[in-house]
Structure 1
Amino acid sequence: MTKLQLSVAMGDYDRTRALFDGRVQIDGVDPIYMLLNPEEMFFRAMRSMDFDIAELSFSSYLVKHSKGDCPYIAIPVFLSRAFRHTSIYVRKDRIKKPEDLKGKRVGLPEYQLTANVWARAILQDDFGVWPEDVTWVRGGIDTPGRPEKIKLQLPANVKVEVAPEGKTISELLDQGDIDGFIGPRPPSRSALANPNIGWLFDDPTAVAKDYYRRTGVFPIMHVVGIRKELAAQHPWLPGAVFKAFTQSKAAALALLSDTSATKVTLPFVEEQLKAARETMGDDYWSYGVAPALKTLETFVRHHHSQGLSARLMSVDELFHPATYETYSI
């Protein structure tokens, strides 16, 4: 059988490296891999559909999938997961606790970014700060004039302003023109050098661990999508892609657990790995629907309530049917 030559866009992670270097193969596929940053990858996937298989913003996928016009169908491979308590920065001279954000102005690069959906969900569920309680100011983090990559129809009570021309939201935060900042990347270095700017939560790791213990939710940022026509033409493809990404993650975790020589350029890796397993179990970075059910249900609920999904989707609608169950031996 001639293998399918398919373009695959993904991030450069330990969990994708075995695919990129060829240790793990996608059955039936001759891949052309591109390691890209999220902004380029998501923009090209959603604007011009440049890739056959692509890592996708979970939020962007859901915006389009809920309207039935997404060119990709997702599989439950969660290449990026993160507790977004570290994504909320504030003017510490004004904001002492999360509830202080009510009535304030908060900058963000795009309203619909997955990290921002999760941050707003945390503020709403745990601290009673609803999206309509804040005036959102949209702009680039380091470059002025960043637009939403997808056209949105937000509820009338959600207030979104565009940053002044030529201004970044990092500059606005540094100058005191906004009270907070939420995004998947931190503000600029010059803003972080301001002693009045810092994380909303003084110990975000402790707050995130408490959040997980209470909710069982480990936020999902990115999924993997396959062009719909390819999945329809080759019914075996979604299962093959899911299998390969799962094997690649397993290879990364095996290396991470080999402490004879640290595989990442960071101290205390053994301690962090032990702590993660004690808090979240051995399969702490799970792929597949069943282990992530609480997380998925939480996200689709908030995504819809924040005005981003055209309708409230069920988890059963999110992914290709072939990837809801896998074989066992």
Structure 2
Amino acid sequence: MAEPVHLKSVLGTYPHTAALKSGALRSDEVVLDFVAVEPVHKAFAPMVRRAEYELSELAIATALQAKAYGKPIVVLPAVVASRLQRGCLIYHRGHGPVAPRDLAGARVGVRAYTQTTGLWLRAHLAEDYGLAAEDIRWVTSDPAHVEEYADPAFVAHFEGDASLPDRLRSGEIRAAILGNDLPEGDEFAPVIADHAAVDRAWYATHGFMPINHMVVVSAEAARRKPQAIRAAYALLKQAAAAAPVPADGMSRAAFGCSRLWDAVELTLATCADQKLLPRRLSVDEVFAGAEEILGDLGA
């Protein structure tokens, strides 16, 4: 029997990837050689700028920008991180209450304008309150992972290295968007007070969660190791199927289904509205190259 093919890989640790990362789930065809990157978003720039890894988790906004700017990656129809987003927009109680419409003309912090949680929060503010991206003064710490992309003119950059919670405490910004690093305790509160109910209604209407991260492979790996990538994709699906069902019953992973296509289509439209792409992409362009590896796009 032939030796399994190795793929240099980066994935976050989630219930639906834990079996892969622990080695409990294996394949005779492929070995995922995991590189530890914490937080996982620090792997995104190396992936799109110099194809540092053969298989990697990647923020969907970064993946779409990479495709638009001709970076050598192939996006697989595999979502490994998604969430309901409205609770990620917070303010500091010490400076008085903040409602969504109070953000018009206000300074709002986010790690990067291209951060996917920010993408979805801006979409929700437009959908629910009529606030366009340019109606708010966005302030960021980090540039885009894709070097060719420049933030729109209505986005500024912080001076210094203070954290977003500290900038909220000082009153430098009115609100901030955080993701997995949301602070705990009563010091901060969500700007959208009924975020959980509104998010659940959004999910019921759309039938999917807003995508945060997908899985991509380098074009070189796609060319040289297609069978190993097929095996890796099968492992990802198997691990997700075996993972415990989330308490809310809403899956954070998705693979090769019509709802995934709907989710990507909505993300593309949202990116266009927020000036995140140099041109509009089609869903076929996003997944170009994946069908040759996976057949019927892994359905």
Return the match for 1:150 from 114, 134, 146: 146
Return the match for 2:174 from 179, 191, 199: 179
Task: Report the CA distance shift for 1:182/1:326 in structure 2 as closer, same or farther (over 3 A).
Answer: closer
Contact 1:216 1:294 in 2 (8 A): no
Number of residue-to-residue matches in the alignment: 292
Task: Report the CA distance shift for 1:178/1:114 in structure 2 as closer, same or farther (over 3 A).
Answer: same
Which digits, 9 at most, give the CA deviation of each residue in 1:186-215, with x for residues without a partner? 4556xx664xx3111224221210111233
Q: Which SS does the other structure have where 1:236 is aligned?
A: helix
**Which amino acid in 1 is paired with 2:216?**
G
**Which amino acid in 2 is paired with 1:221?**
N
Equivalent residue number for residue 266 of structure 1: none
Determine if the alignment matches structure 1 residue 209 to structure 2 residue 168: no
Task: Report the CA distance shift for 1:127/1:62 in structure 2 as closer, same or farther (over 3 A).
Answer: same
**Structure 1 gap segments, 5+ residues each:** 140-145, 257-271
Contact 1:78 1:287 in 2 (8 A): yes
Q: Following superposition, which runs of at least 4 residues in structure 1 exceed 6 angstroms of deviation?
A: none
Task: Report the CA distance shift for 1:185/1:60 in structure 2 as closer, same or farther (over 3 A).
Answer: same
User: Which residues of 2 match residues 261-272 of structure 1 at below 5 A?
Assistant: none
Which digits, 9 at most, give the CA deviation of each residue in 1:200-244, with x for residues without a partner? 122422121011123334111111111111212333344322211
Which digits, 9 at most, give the CA deviation of each residue in 1:74-101, with x for residues without a partner? 1111110111112111245555432221
**Which amino acid in 2 is paired with 1:11?**
G
Equivalent residue number for residue 52 of structure 2: 50
Q: Which SS does the other structure have where 1:121 is aligned?
A: helix
Contact 1:83 1:218 in 2 (8 A): yes
Return the match for 2:236 from 240, 245, 252: 245
Distance 1:52 1:36 in 2: 14
Q: Which SS does the other structure have where 1:74 is aligned?
A: strand
Equivalent residue number for residue 224 of structure 1: 215
Task: Report the CA distance shift for 1:223/1:40 in structure 2 as closer, same or farther (over 3 A).
Answer: same
**Which amino acid in 1 is paired with 2:48?**
M
Equivalent residue number for residue 159 of structure 2: 164
Contact 1:217 1:295 in 2 (8 A): yes
Task: Report the CA distance shift for 1:287/1:136 in structure 2 as closer, same or farther (over 3 A).
Answer: same
Return the match for 2:275 from 307, 323, 327: 307
Distance 2:115 2:169 in 1: 22
Task: Report the CA distance shift for 1:119/1:327 in structure 2 as closer, same or farther (over 3 A).
Answer: closer
Moved more, 228-237 or 81-90: 228-237
Q: Which SS does the other structure have where 1:39 is aligned?
A: helix
Shift of 1:245: 0.3
Identity score, percent: 25
Contact 1:153 1:307 in 2 (8 A): no
Relative contact order, CA 8 A, sep 6+: which one is greater? 2
Moved more, 312-321 or 31-40: 31-40
Determine if the alignment matches structure 1 residue 325 to structure 2 residue 296: yes
Q: Tell me the TM-score normalised to structure 1 length.
A: 0.80
Shift of 1:285: 4.0
Equivalent residue number for residue 89 of structure 1: 90
Task: Report the CA distance shift for 1:284/1:324 in structure 2 as closer, same or farther (over 3 A).
Answer: farther
Distance 2:114 2:17 in 1: 26
**Structure 2 gap segments, 5+ residues each:** none
Distance 2:123 2:9 in 1: 31
**Which amino acid in 1 is paired with 2:23?**
G
Q: Which SS does the other structure have where 1:313 is aligned?
A: coil
Equivalent residue number for residue 136 of structure 1: 138
Task: Report the CA distance shift for 1:327/1:227 in structure 2 as closer, same or farther (over 3 A).
Answer: closer
Contact 2:48 2:66 in 1 (8 A): no
Shift of 1:154: 3.7
Distance 2:181 2:33 in 1: 31
Distance 2:24 2:166 in 1: 45
> In angstroms, what is the RMSD of aligned CA positions?
2.5
Equivalent residue number for residue 42 of structure 2: 40
Contact 1:73 1:227 in 2 (8 A): yes
Task: Report the CA distance shift for 1:326/1:52 in structure 2 as closer, same or farther (over 3 A).
Answer: closer
Which digits, 9 at most, give the CA deviation of each residue in 1:13-66, with x for residues without a partner? 221122223333345223312343313322432344321111111111111111
